[in-house]
Each structure stands twice: as structure tokens, then as C-alpha cells.
Amino acid sequence: MSGEGKVVCVTGASGYIASWLVKFLLLRGYTVHAALRSPDEASKTKHLRELEGAKERLHLFKADLLEEGSFDAAIFGCHAVFHTASPVIFNFHDPQTDVLDPAIKGTLNVLTSCSKAPSVTRVILTSSIAAVVHSERPRSSHVVVDETWFSDPDFCKKKMKWYALSKTLAEEAAWRFAKENNIDLISINPGVVLSPMLQPTLNESVAIIAKLINGTLCFSHIFLASCFDTHIETRKTWNMIGANATFDWVDIKDVAIAHILALEVPSAQGRYCLVDTVAHMSQIVEMLRQLYPSLTLPNKCADDKPLEPTYKISKEKSQGLGIEYTPTKVSLRETLENLKAKGFISL
């Protein structure tokens, strides 16, 4: 096991991506320091404590993104740190307080703790494709987006894309801090993540599919403006109508493995975009129809405008890291089966 004898920290360890990361780290022999806001809440940590190897090599630590120094104990003595903790919420009252501050200040608090721990050799930041694609640069079927693209904060503010802004500014702050403090930093930038959930609660990305199946997916103006690049505003539900939107999709297991490879591959550096496919929601609906012909799904978009264009995300760098992508259709099937097993949908 490649991680045997090594200690790593995972922030926000009970989250969707982080839970799979903890699972794979334990399976590879690592000892994991899980930094959590509420480690004593059994309902939020049960799925972690039941993982193979958790009894022997999983240790829970209390830490808060907005509390300076609260990550010191969890990071002390660690070989590497995976910073996954950041708000992924699209319905909120105050974007500064609810989204931007936890993302940006939280990242800097974690990196400050890393700078005080001489044992830390590398930090892997969970960023997002949202920190890559949101700018005035045109996207079309002929465009290939790669790691050299950066989202424009002014564009994000103008379009009220608060989640994209939070990930963009947090990543920018991380790169500045890492350069100033000689930290070996790597950024993982996944798209919309699918496939089974380990945690008991429904997370935002998988909720897109659950609500689509249940006929209750309603993209409010605040959701669309804060997350995805689309121009519709509708309060109609998806059992009647579908959204004209294009998303970037990737499997949760591929994302977790990419984080670990970013640590274990000595030559890994910079940013890594992680997207299997860029697909319009109409294409996702068609995949679901093929998988489950009996489902009642939308037949048209919410407007009569041309379909939002698809584009390409380069896989060259991530595949060079060792990633073999799970087809989105497979991810969708696993997502639906998991949602059914957890009681979120009926098939």
C-alpha cells in the first residue's frame, strides 16, 4: 500500500468528494486526519467511521474555516493536506458571508496552518471547473478549454455567479499564498460530480439528477446566476419543461483518485481540469431515457432559444497524471441506483 506509514489531512472530510477521498486514502494505507466542523455529530461521521481501515487509521479533528489556527492540530505532523472544505451552496441570503468568506478566508486559514507544519510536503486544493470557464472568452463546439483558462472575477460578479466567484478567488488566493510561502500546491478542478454518495445527505450536484427524476427541478434565478452559465429564468418544474443549459460532468471516483495521484506522482504540478464530457441537459435526458425507458422526463427546453453550445475540456494533462475517465452514462446509472437505494427517488 503506497500510503502505509504516511499521515495526511483532509479538510471538510464528511463531504461528497472528501468522503470518497478518505475511503481511497484508507484503502491505500494512509492514516487520515479528518478535519470537520462538527466531529462529535455521529450522524455526520458515521459513514466515515464505518469505512475499511477507519477504526485503526482515521482520526477526527474539530476545525472551522473561519477560525484562524483551528486546523493547526489536524495538520501537525501530516505528510500532505487535501483541502476540500468549501461551501457548495446555491441558495443563500448573503453571498459574501455564506459563500465568499468561507471559501477564501478558509483556504488561507488552511494554508497558513500548512505553512506552520514543516512535515507538509504538498497541498492539494479542491477547486472547480467554475474557476476555469467563466469569462468573456467564447465557448463553442470548436473550442477546447484547458488548464490555462481562468475565470474572470469581474465577469462572475457581473453575472452574479457567486459560487464561481468563490472558487475563482479562493484559487487565486491559494496560488499567491503558496508562491509567497514556498508551498508545493496543486489544484484539482472538477466539473459537476456524479455517482454514488457515501454521506447520508443529498449534495448539490447529485440533487440536480434527483430533482430531474422526481420532476421537481426548478432552476431559480439565484441558482442559475450563482452556478451555471445559462440565461433562462424559470419557476416551472421539470416534469413540464427542461432547462437550456450545458454542464461539465465527471465521476466522483475519478475526482477522488485524481487527488491521490496529485500527491503520489512526483512530477504533478499546477492545475488539473477533470471533466469526462460536456453535455447539454437534453443529452443527459436522452442518456437517462436509454438507461430507464419508463422514466417521465422533459421533452423540450424552457425557451425557444438555440441550445446552449457544448465545447471541449482538454483531458491531456489529467490523463497524463493517470486518470482513466468513467463514461458519464455509467456515472448516471450509478447515481440513480444510489439515489434509489437511499430513498431519494423511485424508479
pLDDT at residue 236, as a whole number: 34
Q: Nine-digit cell at 290?
A: 436509454
pLDDT of amino acid 216 = 59
**Location of C-alpha cell 441558482:** 223
* Side-chain half-sphere CA neighbours of 267 within 13 A: 5
Active site residues: 167
pLDDT of res. 93: 78
pLDDT at 242: 53
Q: Give the number of other Cβ atoms within 10 Å of residue 163's Cβ.
A: 28
Cell of 194: 456524479
Backbone Cα Rg of the chain = 19
Q: How far is it, in rounded angstroms, from Cα 93 to Cα 110?
A: 25
Secondary-structure percent of the chain, ordered helix, strand, coil, rounded to 5: 40, 15, 45
What is the DSSP code string of 257-323?
HHHHHHHH-TT--EEEEE-SEEEEHHHHHHHHHHH-TT-----SBSSSSPPPPP-EE--HHHHHHT-
State the cell numbers at 119: 512535515
CB 238 within 8 A of CB 217: yes
Task: Give pTM, 2 decimals.
Answer: 0.91
Question: What is the CATH code of the structural domain delimited by 7-340?
Answer: 3.40.50.720
Distance, CA of 119 to CA of 75 (rounded, Å): 9
**Residue-wise pLDDT tens for the chain (347 aa)?**
688 899 999 999 999 999 999 999 999 999 999 999 999 999 999 999 999 999 999 999 999 999 999 999 999 999 999 999 988 776 777 889 999 999 999 999 999 999 999 999 999 999 999 999 999 999 988 999 999 999 999 999 999 999 999 999 999 999 999 999 999 999 999 999 999 999 999 998 999 899 888 875 544 332 333 233 333 333 333 333 356 788 999 999 999 999 999 999 999 999 999 999 999 988 999 999 999 999 888 777 767 777 888 999 999 999 999 999 999 999 999 999 999 999 999 88
Residue 214 pLDDT: 84
Which residues on adjacent β-strands are paired with residue 188? 126, 272
d(CA 220, CA 218): 6
